């Protein structure tokens, strides 16, 4: 029914085609597309059936002109090559689709005021109705808030107590889970390979590690900094392997844990016999590490749903001041066990 254009190419179906197939006026089709309550249910069903049969897709510019709404949410993300940020972006996109919104993602390669302003401007040029910010660096949230945007802004990564309109995963709880698992097994202290100091999530995982020791009146094991990469984990693992007092280590992400495992193996330190290792993220490969990695899993789909739910509520005029945190889960595999008797 869509027919062909003058050039002979098959044209996309129009609203008029939908109206003709459904046996209604184009005004009725428009009302259905705009969720008007003035349309009878049987008529609405006929129009939807015609839309599906024809494969009709509404032009975004036309929708914006008709409703002053684009049906689009923007998202600013950083370090999309890393597992966590990429999973958050995917989760928000999926949750957005389920809620009836397209999600446009703009990545920033550097965390500067200019880069963030440019990312926000690119999204505003697309007439997004709200922006989700998934950037875990400490200064990024304040910087975005300072822009005083005319649309709602929701934070979805690296959130801290006191934020408003924010959803995240409880990183402190994740650090405690990892550390307590090894302390419960009988280790007297747990070393830590930390993430970059300017990442909020790295600091929060470290805080969970520290609190787990403090709650038991124990001193934490040594801390070795990393940068999220497997190579930095390998360097940290070589240092840890030289310290015979270390029997357990919490690594702030699974990529660094892979490097730690390699370094310990090369040094002849058996895992978990000599050293227990826990990672963070539960990357798809974690179960295939040698040994398979005990790790903290993050519920990225739930984070996406919460972030989009906050966004939709904000678009409806509701502001929720509290931070909404999804809880992580410890997955116990073969890289942890009881310490050997001394």
Please report, in tens digits, the pLDDT of each residue of the chain (342 residues total). 555 544 445 567 777 888 999 999 877 887 787 666 778 999 999 998 988 888 876 654 455 445 456 688 999 998 888 899 999 999 999 999 888 889 999 998 877 778 888 888 889 888 899 999 998 887 777 777 777 788 888 999 888 877 778 899 999 999 999 999 999 999 999 999 999 998 999 999 999 999 999 999 999 999 999 999 999 999 999 999 999 999 999 999 999 999 999 999 999 999 999 999 999 999 999 999 999 999 999 999 999 999 999 998 888 887 665 678 999 999 999 999 999 987
User: Which superfamily does 72-169+300-327 belong to?
Assistant: Response regulator (3.40.50.2300)
The pTM is what? Answer: 0.79
The half-sphere exposure of 236 on its side-chain side, counting CA atoms within 13 A, is: 31
The half-sphere exposure of 192 on its side-chain side, counting CA atoms within 13 A, is: 27
CATH code: domain 15-58 is 1.10.260.40
Q: CA triplet 167, 173, 327: central angle to 5 degrees?
A: 45
CB 249 within 8 A of CB 240: yes
| Stretch (H or E) spanning 43 | helix 41-54
In the chain, which residues fall in CATH 3.40.50.2300?
72-169+300-327, 171-298
CB 84 within 8 A of CB 201: yes
Helix (H, G, I), strand (E, B) or coil at 238: helix
In the chain, which residues fall in CATH 1.10.260.40?
15-58
CATH code: domain 171-298 is 3.40.50.2300
């Amino acid at each position: 029914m869509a027919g062909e254009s003058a050039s002979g190419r098959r044209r996309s179906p129009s609203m008029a085609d939908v109206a003709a197939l459904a046996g209604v006026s184009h005004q009725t089709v428009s009302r259905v597309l705009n969720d008007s309550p003035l349309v009878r249910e049987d008529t609405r069903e006929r129009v939807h059936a015609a839309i599906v049969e024809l494969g009709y897709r509404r032009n975004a510019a036309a929708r914006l002109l008709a409703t002053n709404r684009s049906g689009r949410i923007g998202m600013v993300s950083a370090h999309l090559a890393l597992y966590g940020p990429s999973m958050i972006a995917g989760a928000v996109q999926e949750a957005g689709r389920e809620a009836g919104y397209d999600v446009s993602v703009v990545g920033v390669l550097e965390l500067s005021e200019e880069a963030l302003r440019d990312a926000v401007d690119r999204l505003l040029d697309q007439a997004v109705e709200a922006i989700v910010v998934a950037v875990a660096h400490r200064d990024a949230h304040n910087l975005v808030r300072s822009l005083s945007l005319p649309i709602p802004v929701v934070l979805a990564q690296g959130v801290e107590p006191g934020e408003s309109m924010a959803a995240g995963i409880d990183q402190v709880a994740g650090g405690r889970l990892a550390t307590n698992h090894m302390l419960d097994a009988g280790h007297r202290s747990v070393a830590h390979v930390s993430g970059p100091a300017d990442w909020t999530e790295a600091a929060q995982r470290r805080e969970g590690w520290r609190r787990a020791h403090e709650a038991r009146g124990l001193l934490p094991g040594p801390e070795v900094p990393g940068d999220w990469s497997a190579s930095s984990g390998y360097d940290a693992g070589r240092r840890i392997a030289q310290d015979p007092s270390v029997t357990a280590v919490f690594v702030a992400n699974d990529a660094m844990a892979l490097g730690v495992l390699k370094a310990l193996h090369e040094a002849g330190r058996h895992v978990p016999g000599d050293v227990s290792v826990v990672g963070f993220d539960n990357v798809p490969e974690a179960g295939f590490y040698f040994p398979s990695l005990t790790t903290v899993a993050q519920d990225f789909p739930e984070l996406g749903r919460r972030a989009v739910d906050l966004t939709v509520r904000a678009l409806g005029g509701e502001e929720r001041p509290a931070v909404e945190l999804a809880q992580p889960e410890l997955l116990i595999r073969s890289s942890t066990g009881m310490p050997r008797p001394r």
